[in-house]
Chains A and B, each alone.
Chain A
């Protein structure tokens, strides 16, 4: 595999690739694509088979939507879905809201305390949940917020706030400083410049940051598993676990639930992904 790369590496003029190299290129990419797509495709196909055939190897067998109707009618799927939407949505809005001005400040100003602040943001992102989970669990217990969406929202802010500030710094860095300067010349103070000029320009960046915060909260497992108990209170990450326990495996419901969770996320994601990486690496390389 590596050999292929090395040989096919550089950007030669178009058309100069030998048929063999061309074949190797396509063969490698086809294999890689199949590996990437197959697990997801297989779950989609399984979700359309009657539950009793879930574990057969046939690609399609008596296609039906019975797994979906069973899931929506006989399980708590909708309440898990709602819990996840609520928790991830509120976390996103609060995270972006709290972090926006800070992202701007660290992007534009050099002020005493900026370096430690940047370091704090970076280090907080590498915090393992292991260090915070017990104190937060006890704290939520004392405040009566275990099993409450609010408790999980507060907890997720510990991840979302530093992350959003970091990402937004990257986006603000891409907006030319001349715009700020012209605002200042016109008599705006820094808050005015930020609010009237920069924020409207940074809207795509804010959207991407928010989207990222949303899918991070949407996919979080550890806190959700520890803080939320009892069938109705779970989020999707916890709910999906109930289908496949040590003793029972309801693969039919599991696959249908997986599809319903994954498709909206995947569609959004494939639209947004270009900006996702740009924002993250920009924030980090120039940090």
Chain B
């Protein structure tokens, strides 16, 4: 079973276009005795499902599969702004870039910059996800109780999620402003000297994490609150009768009851955070220097900010990021399966 799933992951990676073709061929293999009859039978049984799935498979094949294949190809060339096909006025210039094999990969992997970015990206992801989860769970457990004003607190705490992300990030940039931001003015009023929120590498790292946690808590909180409400209250009553303390009840009822939801939201927020482009790009542009640059913003920088624009380099970073995420998803799934989850 495990082997089977890992196979489908690997397949999904090498292009969605083959998906439609894969179904019948697999069925054929199953009914090895009469391949043609098997295929016909499969078509007769499944053609509804295949027809319904076809639009997505086609669209993804064209606008995701093809660019993906092309991206992987670009990462094996030396394409940049100067040698790709382009049109200047009415004159069309053909592409002159060449296939260079794995040169880009050896270059990127041999460069300490990649490893620095990777370490910071992992630190950033782990810090953001764990803080968001712990704080989200804390707030969710609090909101799960009966008390006056609950709806108002809930509304207030969800607000950061309701505002488009890029707007919030600009709001924070305004608050963080070194000379005129409200945070430093308040500190100044308390006699504390201004903090260079976005101008010092360490503070900038703390600032981007803080903003991302601020942005991420509402989703986490609402999802976990939903999970908490689905845990039957009788369990708590029974446990209390048996003399279990609050911590024991939390540990043995709440946490196991939240497993399915937690696993999902942790997976989702890990992927989102790993790829979180806007927070870093809009708050610090990867700076000061390159101290807050994560892998995704680095890939963007290679293709759209660096001069000359390095398309092949950017594609290489992209492929490496995708590879890392797929390994992560695979390991995550494995570990869940070991613990008996069906996901």
Contact = CB atoms under 8 A, between A and B. Distances in A.
Interface of A: 1-2, 4-12, 14, 17, 22, 25-26, 28-29, 32-33, 35-37, 39-40, 42-43, 46, 55, 57, 98-99, 101-102, 104-106, 109, 111-117, 119-139, 141-142, 154-155, 157-158, 161-162, 165, 189-191, 194, 215, 218-219, 221-222, 225-226, 236-237, 240-241, 244, 249, 251, 254-255, 258, 261-262, 265-266, 269-270, 273-274, 276-278, 280-281, 284-285, 287
A283 to B, nearest CB: 9
Interface of B: 5, 8-9, 11-13, 16, 19-20, 22-24, 26-27, 42, 45-46, 48-53, 55-57, 59-60, 63-64, 66-68, 70-71, 74, 84-86, 134-135, 137-139, 141-147, 149, 153, 155-168, 170-175, 177, 180-182, 185-186, 214, 217-219, 222-223, 226-227, 233, 236, 239-240, 246-247, 249-250, 253-254, 260-261, 263-265, 267-268, 271, 274-275, 277-278, 281-282, 295-296, 299-300, 303-304, 311, 314-315, 317-319, 321-322, 325-326, 329, 343
10 contacts: A9-B249, A9-B250, A22-B147, A123-B9, A123-B12, A125-B271, A131-B319, A219-B166, A258-B167, A285-B343
A88 to B, nearest CB: 11
Nearest to A10: B249
Of A43, A138, A262, A274, most buried by chain B (CB within 10 Å of CB) is A138
Contacts of A251: 174
Contact of B71 (A11, A132, A218, A236): A132
Given A11-B236, A137-B303, A285-B264, A129 B12 contact: no
Contacts of B303: 133-134, 137, 226
Contacts of A165: 56
A281 B263 CA distance: 10
A101 B52 contact: yes
Contacts of B182: 42, 57
Contacts of A244: 170, 173-174
Contacts of B165: 219, 221
Contact of A162 (B60, B264, B304): B60
Given A111-B46, A129-B275, A158-B67, 9 more contacts: A29-B153, A36-B159, A98-B55, A127-B64, A128-B325, A130-B300, A130-B318, A132-B67, A190-B48
A241 B169 CA distance: 11
A130 B268 contact: no
Nearest to A237: B166
A11 to B, nearest CB: 5
Nearest to A271: B162
A72 B314 CA distance: 38
A43 B162 contact: no
Nearest to B315: A134
B160 A40 contact: yes
A267 B304 CA distance: 35
B317 A130 contact: yes
A40 B171 contact: yes
A134 B318 contact: yes
Given A106-B53, A113-B23, A157-B63, A135 B70 contact: yes
A221 B285 CA distance: 13
B264 A112 contact: no
Of A2, A9, A123, A215, most buried by chain B (CB within 10 Å of CB) is A9
Nearest to B233: A11
Nearest to B314: A134
B24 A131 contact: no
Contacts of A135: 66-68, 70-71, 74, 315
A209 B16 CA distance: 23
Given A138-B311, A261-B167, A266-B159, A124 B60 contact: yes
B22 A113 contact: yes
Contacts of A25: 142, 145, 147
B247 A111 contact: no
Contacts of B145: 8, 11, 25
B63 A158 contact: yes
Contact of A219 (B13, B164, B296): B164
Given A99-B56, A221-B166, A126 B271 contact: yes
Contacts of A28: 138, 142
B163 A265 contact: yes
A112 B281 contact: no
Contact of B261 (A6, A120, A285): A285
A189 B48 CA distance: 9
A234 to B, nearest CB: 12
